[in-house]
Structures are given as structure tokens and as C-alpha cells.
Copies of this chain bind each other. A is one copy, B any other.
């Protein structure tokens, strides 16, 4: 890196401000270094001390109570990264953008990036050398020009290389992953205990909800502790053959966690980025076999079979080259899966299925068995097509429930289960007929306004699904919330558009998939 100017000494001080994945340095506007050299707020500087150095964005402070002239403040992440003590003498200098931003500029011009480019970019990002702006430039340029399949492969490997790799020392490490977007759909919490009960290793780590009302980690957290140290996770998996943990404690492809802080507010959701993000985590997590669930439907993430097929091929291409055996299953994404939407309500559905409760939602049970069956067929001793029956036996016999209970106890069972929200409101059918459409996006939006996933008891309980008959004035679903303001917003949105359409049975979108 060419540095542009060298400067005098400043006294390091820690500024207790959480700048969330961006390194920020603070300088008093009366500081001589600032005045003499024309540093500008928001420019990039290099801070160094004893041979260690970090890049940070400079912010100018005009209040000496926050920071005195002669001091250099670092935000918490930046302070930790520099690893020097308060009071240490540090130097700052103008820093050009990280070298790899040159590759970002080439991507903006429409060029292909090489494996080396992706390694340089992800390496700089994980070292917090990129500003949020620079990350946005990389992500948007990749979205607009697209990533071809070799680029996705290079990007996947580069992301996996930014963190640790788990090694389970077993020949078959199973995993399943849904690309998301469907409310409810908590199949992972059923697949894991079924597969683990069979004895197959399935050390499942999941993320929390990003734009949905509940992720697997949020829902499992209703029942058990999910934030486990890597060591504890290993010992639980060794004993119980599976776990349902939050993936945030292991350093698996950490660059992905940084990029998501930019992708989410910008609403970027592109095929190549999704595949690289998912597969880099699996590669780092040591998975050998992976089942990918792609739901297709008019309000799902993937809306046409042709797109789903394209996505399947991309998963297969990258999977083959990084040494993960991938099976892709395309499922019915026309409506939510199960009844509950939101952590507590979804956990209730999962437990009902495991307990073989007659009130258990049959679509969730069926889908989970189908997925578990496919995962079980990764076992070379299981004949193709036999997985479903084996999964059903494990579930019906109570072995899956026993496996789940053991995992919950091992992770740390919750003393008291949170309850569904205390404020409830029913949304009624505007006329009689058949439910012909349920908008996944609208159901997700209403459940989030009600407070999910932050407020675990908030969400929606669905009383009718596609094809069900309903009479005018009967309830379609119930909203649960705990806080009056959330409750009002959710009610108001559902009042404007319930997400349901009631009509003639013949109007219903037919699924293209067999079940």
C-alpha cells in the first residue's frame, strides 16, 4: 500500500461507541495534526502503533469532553483490532483505499473477477479495511453485472477462507438448508432430530432471522440455549449426533456476516451472492453432504421453475468443485408451511409434530419427512426411495422426540417457555369461498410488525390454508403481539391487506410440483 503522508504522534484513547462493523477514528478539530494536514471528516486513515496498523474512517469531533486535542480516539471494534493500550502513542497518515478496491472498480466497468480478486476483496473486508460505501460498491456492482458460475466458485472459496474450518473427522457430515422466504417452514428443527436419531452426523448451525419473522436460531431459542462455544458444540454433537445452534459463535466465513450488514439495508438478494454465501458457510462448517430446499411460488424468493432449475445447477456446479455432495429439492412455496409464524408459535408447531399430536400441522410434518428422507438417503446403506419410510418410522416411534429432548437438555433447556403475545386480534374472511392465495411477503410483514422475531411471542397463527373452505366472518388468522404500538401497526397493515384472497376453488394457483 502506498501511504501518502506520515504524521506526528497522538495519544490513543478508546471511544465507547459501537460503529457496527466499521472502523472509526476520532480526532479533535483543534488538533494540530488535523489542522496542519487537512485531514477531512470521512476520509480514510491508517492508524499505526508498534508495527501494527489498521484502516479507519476519520470523524472530526468538536467537543473536548469527548476527545481532547492530541488524542486519537478509536471506536470499540477498531480499538480491539489495533490491540494497543489506552495512552499508547500512535501515528496516523492518509491512507489510499485498500488495493483490492481496484478490482471493485473493474467490476463496475463490467469485467470478470478472478479467484485472486475475490480473495483480495474478502480478505480486506474481513480485516475491516472497507468502508460501508466500498462494500456497497462491491455488492451492487456484482449484482448488476452478475457473477458467472466460475466467479461464484471463486467467491465461495474466498469467503470460506476468511475464517476457521471445522473438521468433524467423519466421512459423512450432513446438512440441510432452505433458501428462505416462506413463513413458518421450520423443517430444520424436525430434520435434525430425525437424522440424528438415525445416527447420521448433522451438526446444524443456523442464523437468526434477517428479514423474516423467525429463523431457526430464533425459534430453537424458545426451547433451549443456542449460543454455544465451539467446544461445547463439538461435545454435544459427538454425544447426540446433532445440534440446533446459532452459527454466530463459530468464525465460519465471517466476511459473510459483515457483508450482510450492507446487503440487508440495501435489499440486495442475488442468486450468485446467495449461493456463495450459503456454500462458503457449509464449506467452513465441514459439511460433506447438503440438501438444499428451494421453494417456488408466486410470492416466494424463486417464482418460476426455470429460475429454480438455474439456481439448482449453480449449487451443483459449485458444490462439485468444493467437494460437497449437493442434492437440491424444489418444493411448494405457494404459501406458509405449518400454522404458526413467529418463534413461539413455530416452536409449538414443531413440538406438536414431534409429539405426534393430532393437532400438528400435516403440511409441516409431510415436508419435514420428505426432506429428512432425502438426507437419510445420503447414507450409502439406505436404498434410494427408502428414506421417507425410515424417517416416518423414526418420527412415529417417538425416537425423534427423544433425540430432540436430548439435544434441548444438552444445549440448556429453558426453564420457562415464553407464551404467545397477550394482545390478540382475528382477521376475518371478507366473504365465503375457498382460500385461493396467501401472500408470503404480506404474512411475513404483518408478523414482523407485530414484533417477531425480537418479541418471541409475537406473530400470526393461521387457521386456513390454500384450498380450505371458509364462510364470511370466520377468522382467517390471529395476530399476536405484546406491545400496543406493534399491535396497532400490525392490525392496521392486516386491515389494509390481509395477504389472503378468498374466491372460487378454480382460481387457485396450481403447484407444478408433486408431493
Contacts and interface: CB of A to CB of B under 8 A. Distances in A.
Interface of A: 2-7, 15-22, 26, 29, 37-38, 40-44, 59-63, 65-66, 76, 97, 101, 104-105, 108, 110, 131-137, 140-141, 143-145, 261-262, 265-268, 448-449, 454, 485-486, 489, 493
A246 to B, nearest CB: 16
19 contacts: A3-B489, A5-B489, A7-B485, A17-B26, A17-B59, A19-B42, A20-B40, A42-B132, A42-B265, A43-B265, A97-B265, A105-B267, A108-B140, A110-B144, A133-B133, A133-B136, A133-B265, A134-B266, A140-B141
Given A5-B489, A18-B41, A41-B18, A266 B140 contact: no
B105 A76 contact: no
A424 to B, nearest CB: 19
A496 to B, nearest CB: 10
Contacts of A131: 132, 265
B134 A137 contact: no
A438 B105 CA distance: 25
Given A17-B61, A137-B140, A144-B145, 12 more contacts: A2-B493, A4-B448, A5-B486, A5-B489, A62-B76, A97-B267, A104-B266, A108-B268, A132-B132, A133-B135, A136-B136, A140-B140
A280 to B, nearest CB: 22
Contacts of A105: 266-267
A454 B37 contact: yes
Contacts of A262: 133
A7 B110 CA distance: 45
A79 to B, nearest CB: 12
Contact of A60 (B17, B21, B141, B486): B17
A56 B239 CA distance: 49
B134 A140 contact: no
Given A265-B134, A489-B4, A59 B140 contact: no
Contacts of A6: 485
A17 B25 CA distance: 12
Looking at A26, A38, A133, the one whose CB has the most chain B CB atoms below 10 A away is A133
A181 B133 CA distance: 24
A140 B63 CA distance: 35
Contact of A20 (B42, B140, B144): B42
A131 to B, nearest CB: 7
Nearest to A8: B485
Nearest to A143: B108
A63 B65 CA distance: 12
Contact of A137 (B2, B15, B266): B266
A61 B16 contact: yes
A271 B19 CA distance: 35
Interchain residue pairs A-B with the least CB separation, the first 6: A16-B63, A16-B62, A20-B41, A136-B136, A38-B454, A144-B144
Nearest to A3: B489
B136 A261 contact: no
B137 A59 contact: no
B41 A19 contact: yes
Contacts of A97: 265, 267
A189 to B, nearest CB: 23
A125 to B, nearest CB: 14
Given A136-B136, A137-B266, A266-B133, A17 B62 contact: yes
A31 to B, nearest CB: 13
A242 B138 CA distance: 44
A60 B18 CA distance: 5
A73 B7 CA distance: 32
B136 A42 contact: no
Looking at A18, A104, A261, A266, the one whose CB has the most chain B CB atoms below 10 A away is A266
Nearest to A269: B105
A66 B454 CA distance: 28
